[in-house]
Amino acid sequence: MQSRSIESLDRLALLADSPVELKANTANTESHPKRSGSSSQEWGNEPNRRSPSQLSSQKAQALQQTLERHREEKQIVVVQDFPDPDALSCAWTYQLIAQQYGIQCDIVYGGTLSHQENIALVKLTNLPAMRWAPQILRNKDLSVYQGCVLIDNQGTTSQLMSQVQQAEIPTIVVVDHHQLQGNLQAEFIDIRPAVRATSTIFTQYLQAGLLELDNGISEHVKCATALMHGLRSDTNGLRQAQEEEFLAAAYLSRFYDPQMLNAILQATRSKRVMDVIERSLKNRIVKNNFSIAGVGYLLYDDRDAIPQAADFLVTEENVHTAVVYGIVHDEDKERELVVGSLRTSKLTLDPDEFIKEAFGQDNQGRFFGGGRSMAGGFEIPIGFLGGSNENSEYAKLKWEVFDSQIKQKLLKLVNPTHNLIETE
């Protein structure tokens, strides 16, 4: 089965290389209706430009070779602390692909599932992701893993990574669509910031033959449904999708379960999330089409209320960009972190640049956030100032300091006399 896949990958590469070969081979590809590659037609005339399908079939082939080299190993698949549908569905897809090579994968995250849709996704599809809170991680023997895999992240958004690195587990595979974050070393790297979702990349791997989806296998149908949800949620319900996402969605439409997707999307918001959205509405200031709101303290489990509030604020008339932030704390209020989200409908605003410009770097040269197109998140550690909130006067004071510091930094960029961000 594997060799057949390689053969078909070779053929795909060949097809994309030469438009003349394309016609001669069309009949061959017809016999594999599930394999794509015909879209290379439009690109064949430009020898210096790699088409998306050519790039992805080359990457798929390289990934296949990587998996081949690691047969029968055990790998840890790390997704961001607060995993989203894009990350979860792709990690699962990777697990299913790798399984064919006898590779056993554990999908883990260090934070929590906080969006109601993510909880519904995991429950309804039986998605095999595990939460490793810090106290669980302490008792884990990481030496059972021969390799680490990063999906929809580059290791900078997971608190598990420091321990994975301490255990000297080599990074084997990185697949992501965020901007490259610093120096990354891995055997196989596929980072495509121009692509809107990692689900797009993984669907292309499927199309290239890395795993043949079967409608009769319920796990495949559920995984395709999860990927469809991943595609939708990273593209604002496909409204920010590009050709590649639509092509991926078209492929998944053969396998996914629309009713299950509907059930996932109908998950309701908790009262606490509604309260955060209410606070963001009350506290927002609107300046030069930017809407900025601090929401104060919120529980770790409700962290996802922040991007949801930003999603809501950006729908206001004359607002093109919304930034919402708050201080997220765990139950005993010892660990605290400023978490923020940016949503924009302005095509010329790059969330990645905006966040890096607004907040700069920490003393190790790491940025506080990075974005994907049209959306970005940031995290600012509170460090020594964390905790001691039982003194409400102190807690209030602390919030005011962070609130005004963040506002100052944002407003500096929003101000029209500042030339970095253009205003209409």
Residues that bind Mn ion in the complex, under the rule CB under 5 A: 86, 152, 198, 234
Q: How far apart are CA 332 and CA 388, in angstroms?
A: 10
At closest approach, how far in Å is the CB of 356 from Mn ion? Answer: 18
Alpha helices in 329-380 (DSSP H): 351-359
> What b/e string do you get for 362-376 counting C-beta neighbours within 10 Å, with b at 16 or more?
eeeeebbbbbbbbbb
Q: Which of 22, 47, 59 is nearest to 37 (CA)?
A: 22
| 95 vs 280 by CB, closer to Mn ion | 95
End-to-end alpha-carbon separation of the chain, Å? 56
Give the phi and the psi of residue 365 in degrees, each rounded to 5: 80, 10
Give the phi and the psi of residue 378 in degrees, each rounded to 5: -140, 155
Tokens 């909130």 belong to residue: 389
Q: Which residue number has the CB closest to Mn ion?
A: 86
| 86 vs 403 by CB, closer to Mn ion | 86
Q: How far apart are CA 250 and CA 50, in angstroms?
A: 22
| 249 vs 293 by CB, closer to Mn ion | 249
At closest approach, how far in Å is the CB of 331 from Mn ion? Answer: 28
| 175 vs 410 by CB, closer to Mn ion | 175
CB 231 within 8 A of CB 252: yes
At closest approach, how far in Å is the CB of 15 from Mn ion? Answer: 29
| 89 vs 280 by CB, closer to Mn ion | 89
Question: Which helix (H) or strand (E) segment is 160 a member of?
Answer: none
Tokens 């030469």 belong to residue: 18
At closest approach, how far in Å is the CB of 233 from Mn ion? Answer: 8
77 forms bridges with which residues in the sheet? Answer: 107, 149
CB 378 within 8 A of CB 252: no
| 57 vs 198 by CB, closer to Mn ion | 198
At closest approach, how far in Å is the CB of 227 from Mn ion? Answer: 12
At closest approach, how far in Å is the CB of 402 from Mn ion? Answer: 27
| 16 vs 306 by CB, closer to Mn ion | 306
| 198 vs 291 by CB, closer to Mn ion | 198
| 88 vs 169 by CB, closer to Mn ion | 88
Tokens 């790699």 belong to residue: 50
At closest approach, how far in Å is the CB of 279 from Mn ion? Answer: 27
CB 291 within 8 A of CB 313: yes
CB atoms within 10 A of CB 312: 16
Q: How far apart are CA 6 and CA 350, in angstroms?
A: 38
Q: How far apart are CA 413 and CA 369, in angstroms?
A: 16
Q: What is the DSSP string of 166-207?
A: HTTPPEEEEEE-SPP-S----SEEEE-TTSS-HHHHHHHHHH
| 234 vs 245 by CB, closer to Mn ion | 234
At closest approach, how far in Å is the CB of 369 from Mn ion? Answer: 14
At closest approach, how far in Å is the CB of 111 from Mn ion? Answer: 16
Answer positive or negative: Cα dihedral of 133, 134, 138, 141: positive
Cα dihedral: 98, 99, 101, 107 (round 10)? 40
Q: Residue 76's Cα: distance from chain center in Å?
A: 17
At closest approach, how far in Å is the CB of 230 from Mn ion? Answer: 7
What are 247's two structure tokens?
């092509």
| 77 vs 413 by CB, closer to Mn ion | 77
At closest approach, how far in Å is the CB of 196 from Mn ion? Answer: 8
